[in-house]
Structure 1
Amino acid sequence: MATTEEPTIELKVFVDKEKSRVLFAESGKEFVDVLFGFLTLPLGTIVRLLGKESQAGCLDELYKSVERLPTGFFRTEACKTMLLRPINGAAKQCCQLKVRVDDTEHREVYVCRGICCCARADCACSSVPGAVCRCGKSMTRVGGDRPEYDSTSSTAGAGSVDGVFVKGDIKFIVTDDLKVATASTSLMLSLLDKFEVQDPSSLEQKTIQLSSDKIISLLKRSLTSNGPLTGHYFDVDMAHDDSGIDMLHENLHHEQDNGGEHTLINLNISVLQTKDNSSVLYAEVGGDFVDLLFGLLSIPLGSILKRYGKCGSKGCVDNLYSSIGGSVKGFLGPECQSFLQSPKLAPFFGCGSSKILQVEELSPYKEEIGTCFTCFKTYGFSNLTYCQGKYWNINSTHYYPNCTEPVKTTSLCEVDPKSPKEECENGEAYVKHGHQKFIVTDDLHVLPLSLASTIQVISEAKIQKRDLVEKELALTKPHVMEIFKAALVTRKALSTVLLPPMNMKKLYHHSFGLY
């Protein structure tokens, strides 16, 4: 039985064997397209692809908190799904990559199965399974793929000169720290000078094949290391990299609020910390604060880098982002330049976090298809011709229509998966806002507030009650921006932001055993 061979991308690396280092690589459009595709991935998708071992600050712990939190704490069942499997706003492009990294199903449309649904006029649909239709029924998958994802319309199809994001079939140079530029003699000479290579023939040239698994591994290295190509080629263990910590110290507590809004409505928290300001054990918070933290998982990596630059990662993905407006500017498709520099959220994924980070949201999906409401509910996209077709009746020697419905079109209209049926207006929150309280630990592990959970955190910290103090804080927008930033690079996000700045360096040296 024949098996389909997994697609791979070819990459030629130039290796300094004496120093055990990959200096740079030469590639075609396919590899560069995949690298730029990293920027469109939501943070929650990255954590999931990396098996909740991304080592990107507190993101793994945030993701696991969403997994463990009962569905009843979310506004709808679909809210939890949206955070654990966020949809990529650039899914249409990323589905055309030669090697796909994101395995999220982006093409499906979900509707309820009710033929007598009250949403008949504008057939309510969703991109998220489990969303609630206007009739109150849960939406399940419809057969076939959306017409807009038709592979025949791909701009990067077989034989195409252009790539998914890149224009033309040209060669690129990618350095070990993922700076991308078009290949040229002057660039080659400058790189040889930079790496002090006197004899170019001394470099070893190797061609490697990158499968989906290997590219996912490269993604992880790019988040935590400044030499992901070397790490991959020599199979170096991914050790904890604290290279971004000092830069975080310098940039925290200096956020500017360009909008002039210094406060967030009712965002008050209670912090349990040590009296000597050495650490925060946890914060007692409401659903509004938890919603802001969870919303980070829906934000694209490129939007984080746009806002925070180098401080948005301990690795070198910021070099990828910088290359778009720098060394490869003019070599990207007309629309690609814009949505790679400012990746957008999928429809209805907007939330409090995206508002603070100024990430835009795409318009809801709307489509008019050539089939009646009943046939679409029955067959989905998989058999649109049934509704328009006819069959031959042997007895009467006449053609009869397969479907007798007079209206042969259906308008699909995407609804908000975060809004329960009983709510008339759309809402942005994932988590219910109410009287329920939560505790958020220093590494942003979220738990419903209970006596057992608070005692457990204190016991694990091995700190006596006499050494603890509770403080009430009203968080401003800059505070939240700083917590987001710290959450990306350190597992002590609350201590980093909420303790006095003078204690930061001491805290980190103590945390990483540098004394």
Structure 2
Amino acid sequence: MATKEITLKLMIHKEKNQIVYAESGNDFVDVLLSFLTMPLGTVIRLTGKQSEMGSLHNIFRSVEDLDVQYLQTESCKNMLLYPKSASEEHCRNLIVNIDDTEPTNYYLCNDGNVQPFGSIHHDFKHLISSFPDKKCRCGRSVERTILREKSMNAGDGKDGVFVKGKMRYMITDDLQVLPVCMRTSLELLERFGISDAAVLKERNVNLGQEEVLHLLKSSLLSKTPLTDVFLPMQHTIDEVTLGLKVKELDSKDMAHSHTETEIGSNCRKMNVNLFVSKSRNKVLYAQVGEEFPDLLFSFLAFPLGSIVKCLGGCTSMGCLDDLYKSIKELNKRWMKSEETKPLLLDPKLAPYFGSTNQLIQINELPGKLSTFACSNCYGIGVTDSGFGACSHGNRKIQVEAINPKFRDVVTELGGAFMAGPGMFMVTEELIVKPLSTISGISFLSQFNIPISDLEEQVVSVGEEEALSLLKASLISKTVLSDVFLKKPK
């Protein structure tokens, strides 16, 4: 099958060799907006595990290297490395979809023929699982694949996925999305100091998966991602500037970077033992229980849009904040439906992808699904909302999914990814390993630090500290020191 592409028209400043803005239909805007629905784990996997995005790649690699015995179930590892998007059904309809996460499949008990036990108008309850290695209450394997119907809220290819079709949009170099308007176009030219249209030139380009993937990575690291992608010979991501930004992080800034967002009602705290080099004012590593790694690992399931919201629009990641703000300010008449903006600006976690240790207030979608069952062939179709039917007719049933974080049959939300009790070592760049005293001593030797220079400090981590850890993990390689140690003036 031929690879689909999107056509984009660029307005380029010839002298500066920089893109002033791009013009496109809804197809390209939908792709940009889908970035906000992507979980961090998906972004890291797509952009490369050696990504320049702070210490996130270390969290991802730590999950990869962790023995499954430290996790509640084998499914937990898969959930963290391949987190699901709550907008999965919508993003399947993108013209160019770079998310390689396997579509969610549902499995029914081997004895799962839908046998009616009441009126056709009654609800029936059945258990399904998104992982085939689970057991039903009856003890049989939950491995019979059932059909998942296309969501009624997903895009239809004509009116777009997130924004309405039959409209043209302007996209600035820092990914602000605006409806096509001559006045706005002139304002952009004025911003570039352009008074003579002769310095401008047009160019048409096509985007496939490779270009969109490059754009995703650039959007998280650069303020000029369009130029970086389409004029690569003259413009590359300024890694030197990025490094300086990381070095200038201040622990006070980290703790208060989310002042625009109210701290929720979560009063839970966890203690973390830090081992600090007094002379270097540097955290070497932390000694923690399983709750703290669970908190860090939970970041991988967070959608980018929810991260921007939690940090008050101040992630300091490329132009992600600009994209988020422009969608926030975009008139709702350009959006596909009333529900579209919340999908992008306050995206939920997919069902069962939250953790009791995440501390940060991001809600999950419920685990109950609307379904239909054919009265002739006993096939079940799962929809996100409403009911569907095959050609034979339908019978309404109620289905609950099994929470994959539990070994027993549990349908309620909740649970943790990490099993306990356990003790772990977390370096300041967020490499997580099972605790070993030998590794700890070797760590001191590696940094040539005398034992007398070592100091133990106990800090308390609640929601505010968790938000600071989240922000630091996005842009810093010295996370624990940035968050918990006061920098000398």
Q: Contact 1:96/1:154 (CA < 8 Å) preserved in 2?
A: no
User: Residues of 1 paired with 2:133 and 2:442: CA distance?
Assistant: 34
TM-score by length of 2: 0.87
**Which residue in 1 is equivalent to 2:405?**
418
**Which residue in 1 is equivalent to 2:318?**
315
**Cα gap change, 1:154/1:472 in structure 2, threshold over 3 Å: closer, same or farther?**
closer
- Listed one character per residue, the Cα deviations across residues 21-63 of structure 1 (whole Å, up to 9, x for unaligned) are 1121111110001100000001111111112133221111101
1:480 deviation in Å?
Answer: 2.1
SS at match of 2:48: coil
Amino acid at match of 2:271: N
1:410 deviation in Å?
Answer: 5.8
**Cα gap change, 1:108/1:225 in structure 2, threshold over 3 Å: closer, same or farther?**
same
**Which residue in 1 is equivalent to 2:83?**
86
**Greater mean alpha carbon deviation, residues 162-171 or residues 294-303:** 162-171
1:107 deviation in Å?
Answer: 4.0
Amino acid at match of 1:156: G
Q: Contact 2:251/2:483 (CA < 8 Å) preserved in 1?
A: no
**Which residue in 2 is equivalent to 1:403?**
none
**Cα gap change, 1:86/1:473 in structure 2, threshold over 3 Å: closer, same or farther?**
same
Instruction: Decide which of 264, 270, 276 is 2:273's aligned counterpart.
Output: 270
Instruction: Decide which of 468, 472, 477 is 1:486's aligned counterpart.
Output: 472
**Which residue in 1 is equivalent to 2:415?**
428
Q: Contact 2:402/2:409 (CA < 8 Å) preserved in 1?
A: no
Alignment of 1:19-418 (within 5 A): 19-113=16-110, 122-136=125-139, 139-140=142-143, 142=145, 145-149=147-151, 156-158=155-157, 160=158, 162-235=159-232, 236-240=235-239, 241-242=242-243, 244-245=245-246, 246=248, 251-254=253-256, 258=262, 264-265=268-269, 267-276=270-279, 278-333=281-336, 334-352=338-356, 356-371=359-374, 376=379, 411-418=398-405
SS at match of 1:39: helix
1:474 paired to 2:478: no
1:502 deviation in Å?
Answer: 3.5
User: Residues of 2 paired with 1:456 and 1:135: CA distance?
Assistant: 51
**Which residue in 2 is equivalent to 1:399?**
none
User: Residues of 2 paired with 1:214 and 1:495: CA distance?
Assistant: 36
User: Residues of 2 paired with 1:329 and 1:251: CA distance?
Assistant: 33
Q: Contact 1:293/1:353 (CA < 8 Å) preserved in 2?
A: no
**Cα gap change, 1:456/1:24 in structure 2, threshold over 3 Å: closer, same or farther?**
farther
Q: Which ranges of structure 1 fall in alignment gaps of 5 or more residues?
A: 390-406, 504-515
SS at match of 2:255: coil
Q: Contact 2:401/2:411 (CA < 8 Å) preserved in 1?
A: no
**Greater mean alpha carbon deviation, residues 272-281 or residues 363-372:** 363-372
User: Residues of 1 paired with 2:382 and 2:52: CA distance?
Assistant: 41
User: Residues of 2 paired with 1:261 and 1:289: CA distance?
Assistant: 19
- Listed one character per residue, the Cα deviations across residues 263-284 of structure 1 (whole Å, up to 9, x for unaligned) are 534x112111101352111100
**Greater mean alpha carbon deviation, residues 209-218 or residues 470-479:** 470-479
Q: Contact 2:22/2:170 (CA < 8 Å) preserved in 1?
A: yes
User: Residues of 2 paired with 1:31 and 1:348: CA distance?
Assistant: 31
Structure number with bigger Rg? 1
User: Residues of 1 paired with 2:390 and 2:314: CA distance?
Assistant: 53
- Listed one character per residue, the Cα deviations across residues 286-314 of structure 1 (whole Å, up to 9, x for unaligned) are 01111111001111100001121453243
Amino acid at match of 2:447: A
Higher helix residue share: 1
**Cα gap change, 1:109/1:353 in structure 2, threshold over 3 Å: closer, same or farther?**
same
**Greater mean alpha carbon deviation, residues 195-204 or residues 484-493:** 195-204
**Cα gap change, 1:260/1:308 in structure 2, threshold over 3 Å: closer, same or farther?**
closer
SS at match of 1:497: helix
Amino acid at match of 1:483: L
**Cα gap change, 1:329/1:345 in structure 2, threshold over 3 Å: closer, same or farther?**
same
User: Residues of 1 paired with 2:216 and 2:55: CA distance?
Assistant: 17
**Cα gap change, 1:463/1:110 in structure 2, threshold over 3 Å: closer, same or farther?**
farther
**Cα gap change, 1:263/1:462 in structure 2, threshold over 3 Å: closer, same or farther?**
farther
Q: Which ranges of structure 2 fall in alignment gaps of 5 or more residues?
A: 118-123, 384-388
Q: Contact 2:41/2:82 (CA < 8 Å) preserved in 1?
A: yes
Amino acid at match of 2:217: K
**Cα gap change, 1:181/1:353 in structure 2, threshold over 3 Å: closer, same or farther?**
farther
Amino acid at match of 1:417: P
Q: Contact 1:123/1:373 (CA < 8 Å) preserved in 2?
A: no
SS at match of 1:311: coil
Q: Contact 1:306/1:342 (CA < 8 Å) preserved in 2?
A: yes
User: Residues of 1 paired with 2:355 and 2:130: CA distance?
Assistant: 17
**Cα gap change, 1:36/1:238 in structure 2, threshold over 3 Å: closer, same or farther?**
same
- Listed one character per residue, the Cα deviations across residues 186-240 of structure 1 (whole Å, up to 9, x for unaligned) are 1111111100112223212111111112101100000011111111112244442
1:498 deviation in Å?
Answer: 1.0
**Cα gap change, 1:310/1:367 in structure 2, threshold over 3 Å: closer, same or farther?**
closer
Q: Contact 1:8/1:211 (CA < 8 Å) preserved in 2?
A: yes
- Listed one character per residue, the Cα deviations across residues 390-449 of structure 1 (whole Å, up to 9, x for unaligned) are xxxxxxxxxxxxxxxxx9776532121111117797532111131x10011111110000
Q: Contact 2:249/2:482 (CA < 8 Å) preserved in 1?
A: no
1:358 deviation in Å?
Answer: 2.0
SS at match of 1:264: coil
User: Residues of 1 paired with 2:167 and 2:145: CA distance?
Assistant: 40
User: Identity over the aligned pairs, expressed in percent?
Assistant: 34
Amino acid at match of 2:254: L
User: Residues of 1 paired with 2:264 and 2:210: CA distance?
Assistant: 45
User: Residues of 1 paired with 2:488 and 2:144: CA distance?
Assistant: 54
User: Residues of 1 paired with 2:401 and 2:354: CA distance?
Assistant: 15
User: Residues of 2 paired with 1:87 and 1:65: CA distance?
Assistant: 19
